[in-house]
Structure 1
Amino acid sequence: MLFNSFAFLFLFLPLVLAGYQLFRRRGVAWLGICSLIFYAWWDWRFLPLLLLSICANYGAGRAICGLAGQPRDAALWAALALNLCALGWFKYAAFLFGVSTGLALPIGISFFTFTQVAFLVDCWRGKAREPRFAPYLLFVSYFPHLVAGPVLHHAEMMPQFRNGRPLQAEDLAFGLTVFALGLAKKVLVADNLAPMVTPLFAGGVAPQMMDAWIGTLAYSMQLYFDFSGYSDMAIGLSRLFGVRLPENFDSPYKARNISDFWRRWHMTLSRFLRDYLYIPLGGNRGGTWKRWRNLMVTMVLGGAWHGAGWPFIAWGGLHGLFLVLQQRFGGGKEAWWAWPLTFIAVLLAWVPFRAPDIASALQIWSGIAGLNGLGLPHALGGPGLQCIAAGGGAMPLLAAACLSAWFAPNTREMLQRHWTGSLPHAGAVAALLLACVFSMNRPTEFLYFQF
């Protein structure tokens, strides 16, 4: 079920809200059941896998909390091994061993696995403990975050899951506003940029310079507004129930170096990689070379987390290299060229992230460098790709998206400055929702669902 589908907007969400208000004395259990239904809507075959993962990790967490010394360590490593083996089998078996599971990738498996890995490590560190099953089930399966994040911490979420809390008018107004803004980013911006993107990354294409730049820039903005839109919708939906999800997106294309970019892009994943991978590897300790090694390992594994394939590993490796170069030559955060250089580096790295294989990425990079010719794209009268011609009408939208991503305040900043909850404000939100609904001919999946 998609947030941008009629079934979700006009059936699932109203029923969940009504049931939560009606059964608020059992609100945690109600939201847990609804979250499982939400997940099963995609493919019921994967629901047992999710439930098995939840039950096994709940039991492992209780065992870790009740043990001490070497048995405690052994319980942690065994639980981590089971989680990583399950993730590896479904996500990486074909890539690593040429073995097919015969099933599609279970949606959200990376997110619910990483969420529970963080929980287990926090139990081992003495920072988490969950004696009741129903809240833990909700913590993992909570439908606003389940399929595309954010990656949650037990300590920041559990105090917010409580029975007896009725729906609040302020939460409903604020949540619907954030949800509407996110829906508009997805439906009105990201989806309409897709025609400029898809054929360029179809494989076997040798784009000319203008084609390559326009198509890659369009993908950068498509991904930006798609993921930003999902993040807003997740925060807005959760706020309807009085639950505040952590921020996951903070104007990353305004970053002035690569470290700054990763503090702004997929913020909860960056936090996970720092706290549960980079620091355990040694972090900044042990000298310059070890620090650079830890950065490279962390980013390569972060790339592999996004997908099983050399293009994702190349993307992660590029960001690791960028971080090493930043540390070697200084951040340059205050220099005038810091922002454009950072954005160009991020844009170039998106090529393997989207390309089907390394050969296709090399062709697009060649086009960006002008090695395939300098001609105008088809949309501007040249012999360029049909994909740019198909998206020619979206050129003004692409320009507006760039200006918004580079210079406009983000959703959080806008609401901090202008939130009133007044009746005219409600009318604007209703108009925005209607515009989105009338544009939803065929709902498209969010780009991050594949991870």
Structure 2
Amino acid sequence: MLFNSPEFIFLFLPLTLFFFFMLGRKGYYQGAIAFLVAASLLFYAWWNPPYLALLIFSIFFNYTVGSALSKRLILSVSPKLLLVLGIAVNLALIGYFKYANFFVYNVSFILGKTFNFDQIILPLAISFFTFQQITYLVDAYRGETQDYSFLEYCLFVTFFPQLIAGPIVHHKEVMPQFANKSIYRFNPEDLAVGVTIFSIGLIKKVLIADIAGLYATPVFNAAASGELLTFYDAWSGALFYTFQLYFDFSGYSEMAIGAARMFGIKLPLNFNSPYKAVNISDFWRRWHITLSNFLRDYLYIPLGGNRKGELRRNLNLIITMLLGGLWHGAGWTFVLWGGLHGVYLCLNHQWRSCRKFLGHDLKKSNWWSRTISCFITFIAVVFGWVLFRADNLDSASLMVQTMLGINGISLSASMVTFKKLLIILFLFIWLIPNSQQWMEQYKPALNLPVVKTYSNWYSQVWKKLQWQPNQTFGIIIGVLLFIAIKTILTAVDSEFLYFNF
């Protein structure tokens, strides 16, 4: 079941809201949680019912191990060994389902032999709910978890707005909210904020991301088949995919935050205008924020972080980003994409060190230096997305060579049409505040960043246009939502790109 499907919008979501608040209004708080868990399991099973057993096993196993680690369950096993066992089982599951085919293919290639191995279907969301529970086990070992009930833990893992493609929720962020009795009472403000953010996300997905994909997909398909691309076609394909992924992931993140907010639950921010980043470190503080935090807290810092000198720091960055790339997909294109970003991060740190050595004040900047930095960062990210999207290394190489002009520079007859659309998308991501800024006074999500101060006229304009739960904004969102839903009803449902990871 997709967030952008009619059955979710018109059936599943309203019915789940109705029964949840009906049980809550009568004081059946545990019943409301149990119902929400059951609804979330149904939401997951809608995709492939047999894999529901895998999710349920993962929940039972990790809750049991977590209870033992936090001393709520007494087992005659050392905590360290138990933690290693718990993490190993989680990684074994994700390793089998996500990487077994990749491993067998590479072994076959190296040995020059063919092994008969059936194609394994990747269970939906396995990367997300596995990493989410690993953080719980590690924190239980550290003594940082509270005495959560099994029902609360089930909802922490399965809560349907964040189950499929994140954010990777930390138990400290949402589980205390389940104990807050106010969430079980219908709140008009929560509904208004939630519906608005959900609608913005749906509009981004249906009216921007899917349309951008219509231009990006043929270019990458042509590269995969070995067709010679023009310089402009290669760049337009890369840029349209850059925008497709941006609005697809941004749209999903906002729909997740919006759907959760309808239930009175605030999810952590997972996406914060990453193409406005002024360097690659800033990009990773804005893109897939919860994954970046996980990799930092549970991989980069345990490896030593930046505490053991520059050489070790750079090595830790490379390792972290290589594994981050592999997390996204079982393919060498993802590994190289992660490695490329690791190199980007190392270069960024070296550049900052060089500037410090020259006596520059890194806290001071001006508009033109920020603009240049933003542009350079964006171009670096675009080249990375080519690896991320390409079907294989050959097609990625063909795209990159063409974009660099190695195959000659020639333009396409469709240049004028593409140019206008690309300019609109550029203006959209760089000049317009994101939805969290637009609705900042209603605190739509957790961990909202401090809004930066812009020029006076810019701030005044957007301050007057900030969202309010009134008739004017209701009509505007309603019209755009009507167009999006009409598009959904007349088109084939398209999955969110991060469902593949």
User: TM exceeds 0.5?
Assistant: yes
**Deviations 1:253-286 (Å, cap 9, x if unpaired)?**
0000000000000000000000000000000111
Alignment correspondent of 2:124: 107
- The answer to whether the 8 A contact 1:110-1:305 is kept is yes
* TM-score calculated relative to the size of structure 2: 0.85
Moved more, 142-151 or 24-33: 24-33
- Aligned mates of 2:412, 2:147 — CA distance in 1: 58
- The answer to whether the 8 A contact 1:62-1:131 is kept is no
Alignment correspondent of 1:38: 43
Alignment correspondent of 1:408: 432
Instruction: Quickly say closer, same or farther: Cα 1:320–1:69, change in 2 above 3 A.
Output: farther
The CA deviation at 1:167 is 1.7
Note the 1:424-435 alignment, pairs <5 A.
424-435=472-483
Alignment correspondent of 1:449: 499
- Aligned mates of 1:134, 1:427 — CA distance in 2: 40
Instruction: Quickly say closer, same or farther: Cα 1:359–1:130, change in 2 above 3 A.
Output: farther
- Aligned mates of 1:68, 1:306 — CA distance in 2: 35
**Deviations 1:55-80 (Å, cap 9, x if unpaired)?**
10010100111169970111100000
Equivalent residue for 2:395, pick from 318, 339, 360: 360
- Aligned mates of 2:101, 2:495 — CA distance in 1: 23
**Deviations 1:31-83 (Å, cap 9, x if unpaired)?**
11100000000010110000000110010100111169970111100000000
- The answer to whether the 8 A contact 2:101-2:119 is kept is no
- Aligned mates of 1:163, 1:257 — CA distance in 2: 39
Q: Which residue identity does 1:193 align to in structure 2? A: A
Instruction: Quickly say closer, same or farther: Cα 1:249–1:131, change in 2 above 3 A.
Output: closer
Equivalent residue for 1:29, pick from 34, 49, 57: 34
- Aligned mates of 2:94, 2:241 — CA distance in 1: 28
Alignment correspondent of 1:272: 294
SS at 1:145 equivalent: helix
- Aligned mates of 1:282, 1:104 — CA distance in 2: 36
Structure 1 position 2 matched with structure 2 position 2: yes
Structure 1 position 341 matched with structure 2 position 376: yes
Alignment correspondent of 2:12: 12
Moved more, 324-333 or 63-72: 63-72
- Aligned mates of 1:198, 1:369 — CA distance in 2: 20
Note the 1:135-214 alignment, pairs <5 A.
135-162=152-179, 165-202=184-221, 203=224, 204-214=226-236
Alignment correspondent of 1:387: none
Of structures 1 and 2, the one scoring higher in RCO (CA 8 A, sep 6+) is 1
**Deviations 1:340-399 (Å, cap 9, x if unpaired)?**
11111011111110001111111000110112221212414xxxxxxxxxxx85653332
- The answer to whether the 8 A contact 1:61-1:129 is kept is no
- The answer to whether the 8 A contact 2:66-2:140 is kept is yes
**Deviations 1:111-134 (Å, cap 9, x if unpaired)?**
000000011111111111344111
Give the count of matched residue pairs. Answer: 440
The CA deviation at 1:326 is 0.8
Q: Which segments of structure 1 move beyond 6 Å, counting only runs of 4 or more?
A: 67-70
Alignment correspondent of 1:261: 283
- Aligned mates of 1:246, 1:69 — CA distance in 2: 37
Note the 1:266-345 alignment, pairs <5 A.
266-330=288-352, 334=365, 335-336=369-370, 337-345=372-380
Moved more, 399-408 or 293-302: 399-408
Where structure 2 has 5 or more consecutive residues not aligned to the other structure, the ranges are 106-115, 356-361, 441-462
Two-structure CA RMSD over aligned residues (Å) = 1.7
- The answer to whether the 8 A contact 2:69-2:79 is kept is yes
- Aligned mates of 1:320, 1:166 — CA distance in 2: 46
Alignment correspondent of 1:52: 57
Q: Which residue identity does 1:28 align to in structure 2? A: I
Q: Which residue identity does 2:467 align to in structure 1? A: W
- Aligned mates of 1:349, 1:225 — CA distance in 2: 17
- The answer to whether the 8 A contact 2:236-2:418 is kept is no
- Aligned mates of 2:260, 2:19 — CA distance in 1: 15
SS at 1:370 equivalent: coil
Instruction: Quickly say closer, same or farther: Cα 1:376–1:430, change in 2 above 3 A.
Output: same
Q: Which residue identity does 1:447 align to in structure 2? A: L
Instruction: Quickly say closer, same or farther: Cα 1:259–1:10, change in 2 above 3 A.
Output: same
- Aligned mates of 1:47, 1:28 — CA distance in 2: 19
- Aligned mates of 2:146, 2:65 — CA distance in 1: 11
Alignment correspondent of 1:372: 407
Alignment correspondent of 1:389: none
- Aligned mates of 1:326, 1:415 — CA distance in 2: 33
- Aligned mates of 2:203, 2:117 — CA distance in 1: 38
SS at 2:162 equivalent: coil
- Aligned mates of 2:208, 2:193 — CA distance in 1: 22
- Aligned mates of 2:477, 2:191 — CA distance in 1: 12
The CA deviation at 1:103 is 3.5
Alignment correspondent of 1:230: 252
Instruction: Quickly say closer, same or farther: Cα 1:237–1:364, change in 2 above 3 A.
Output: same
